[in-house]
């Protein structure tokens, strides 16, 4: 297992376990893995990001690798730029939805997709052995890349019916979460002739508006604004803009699973006989919807890297996580908040129905998740204790305890924080509530031993 790479890149508390010295040496390892430039660098709005960017670019230059800095961009914008503008790789400086004191780095391969788990281990091996490039024949240089955002938005527009969307004059509320989509999503909506209302629009690495992770509990302002402005749809992005949570026209916040079902149905109508990739913790309705369109579902461990890297060799059309991370293979096999917004507007323009009406037509589903603080040294004890109690469980990723496909609980350690996440699905709300109550109590009891 990787020591530094978690579920999604490397993250830590800046200047504590994520120091400039660590960033420098890890960048030498990443640069050696890439072998050659140019490398595209982008970063989110955290206060430490510009400093880290300077260390990353100078470390690359010191081993003879050229790089260009795109500045503040969403993670999917950086990734699409790597692929479309011909870079050898990319480094995104972000801690995504983690609190402000965190930062991190996320390498992207030349295909614009996060590097694989195997490649993460290669980079860590170079890091531990200090086996990086030395004595380059020439120093690298650092320039700027001005084309990234425009390239990204044009790429998204090429996959949706722009003229039909423009004709609808949609009213859209964007909760930008003080994050990186502030540099792209408003312009995207403007290109589509949407009347746009902004919430938490100023980029601020302290995320003062509602925090860096959109959750049903902290999106009341989005919900209220949708109702006040009589908007067709609202959307909230996370700190680095790769995930999106929707709000319907009645002010209801949708789970990532629900919006993914809707978008999958919309895409598969036009593209039957396709492949969908999702994680073990997504709800079971995706199999039902995919079957209608003669399409198959592949399940992976939790994490966007797992989904993305499964999509590439299988040529999957769709990938998603239950947390609002949606991937459209024709654009790029990565989570992309703005591409997801484009697909939702395309769906609404095509169907002529309201988002709330579209949701009401989905098969009922009852899913939820919660988290429990858990020191890393307690994780193995927790999983083995549950495995002892439920020996027939799936331990591919944490532990998934199932009665049947519609009734299950999954417990796994976070790859980014000292917590365990508890996911559940049930055939009714009552069953879901009792399952969660039972297992949250069970998890807390085992951890406190």
Tell me which residues are annotated as active site.
Answer: 96
Q: What is the DSSP letter of 74?
A: -
Q: Yes or no: say if 75 and 240 are a contact pair by the CB < 8 Å rule.
A: yes
Q: Yes or no: say if 312 and 110 are a contact pair by the CB < 8 Å rule.
A: no
* CA 238 to chain CA centroid, nearest Å: 8
Instruction: Provide the sign of the torsion angle of the four alpha carbons 14, 76, 338, 329, taken in this order.
Output: negative
Among 263, 335, 338, smallest CA distance to 305 is for 335
H or E element at residue 329: none
Among 113, 111, 147, 174, smallest CA distance to 341 is for 174
* CA 80 to chain CA centroid, nearest Å: 14
Distances (CA, A) of 13 to 85, 203, 276, 304: 32, 20, 35, 22
Pairing of strands 275-279, 296-300: parallel
CB-CB neighbours of 342 under 10 Å: 27
H or E element at residue 127: helix 117-129
- Collapsing DSSP to helix, strand or coil, 241 comes out as coil
For residue 352, give every residue at least 6 positions away whose Cβ sits within 8 Å of its Cβ, in sequence order, or none.
none
Among 96, 95, 113, 112, smallest CA distance to 104 is for 95
Tell me how far apart the alpha carbons of residues 209 and 203 are, in angstroms, rounded to a whole number.
Answer: 10
Tell me how far apart the alpha carbons of residues 134 and 111 are, in angstroms, rounded to a whole number.
Answer: 27
DSSP codes, 287-316: HHHHHHTT-EEEEE-SSHHHHHHHHHHHT-
For residue 318, which phi and psi values (nearest 5 degrees)?
A: -130, 140
């Amino acid at each position: 297992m990787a020591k530094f790479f978690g579920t999604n890149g490397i993250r830590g508390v800046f200047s504590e376990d994520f120091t400039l010295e660590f960033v420098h040496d890890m960048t030498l390892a990443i640069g050696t893995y890439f072998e050659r430039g140019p490398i595209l660098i982008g970063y989110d709005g955290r206060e430490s990001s510009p400093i880290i960017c300077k260390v990353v670019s100078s470390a690359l230059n010191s081993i003879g690798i050229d790089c260009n800095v795109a500045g503040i961009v969403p993670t999917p914008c950086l990734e699409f730029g790597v692929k479309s503008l011909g870079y050898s790789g990319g480094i995104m400086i972000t801690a995504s939805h983690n609190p402000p004191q965190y930062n991190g780095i996320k390498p992207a391969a030349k295909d614009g997709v996060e590097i694989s788990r195997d490649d993460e281990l290669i980079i860590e091996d170079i890091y531990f052995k200090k086996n990086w490039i030395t004595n380059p024949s020439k120093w690298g240089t650092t320039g700027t890349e001005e084309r990234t955002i425009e390239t990204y938005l044009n790429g998204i527009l090429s996959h949706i019916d722009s003229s039909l969307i423009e004709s609808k004059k949609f009213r859209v509320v964007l909760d930008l979460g003080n994050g990186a989509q502030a540099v792209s999503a408003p312009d995207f909506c403007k290109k589509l002739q949407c009347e746009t209302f902004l919430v938490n629009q100023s980029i601020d690495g302290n995320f003062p508006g509602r925090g860096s992770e959109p959750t049903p509990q902290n999106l009341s302002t989005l919900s209220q604004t949708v109702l006040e402005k009589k908007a067709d749809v609202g959307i909230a992005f996370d700190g680095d803009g790769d995930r999106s949570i929707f709000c319907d026209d009645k002010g209801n916040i949708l789970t990532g699973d629900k919006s993914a079902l809707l978008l999958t149905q919309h895409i598969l109508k036009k593209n039957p006989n396709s492949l969908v990739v999702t994680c073990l913790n997504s709800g079971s309705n995706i199999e039902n919807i995919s079957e209608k369109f003669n399409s198959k579902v592949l399940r992976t461990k939790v994490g966007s890297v797992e989904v993305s890297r499964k999509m590439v060799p299988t040529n999957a059309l769709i990938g998603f996580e239950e947390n609002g991370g949606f991937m459209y293979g024709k654009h790029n096999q990565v989570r992309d908040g703005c591409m997801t917004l484009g697909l939702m507007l395309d769906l609404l323009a095509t169907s002529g129905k309201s988002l709330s009406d579209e949701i009401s037509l989905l098969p009922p589903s009852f899913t939820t998740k919660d988290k429990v603080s858990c020191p890393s040294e307690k994780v193995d004890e927790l999983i083995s204790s549950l495995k002892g109690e439920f020996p027939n469980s799936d331990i591919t990723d944490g532990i998934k305890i199932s009665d049947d496909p519609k009734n299950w609980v999954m417990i796994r350690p976070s790859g980014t924080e000292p917590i365990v996440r508890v996911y559940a699905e049930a055939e009714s709300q009552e069953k879901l509530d009792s399952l969660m109550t039972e297992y949250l109590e069970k998890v807390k009891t085992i951890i406190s031993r």
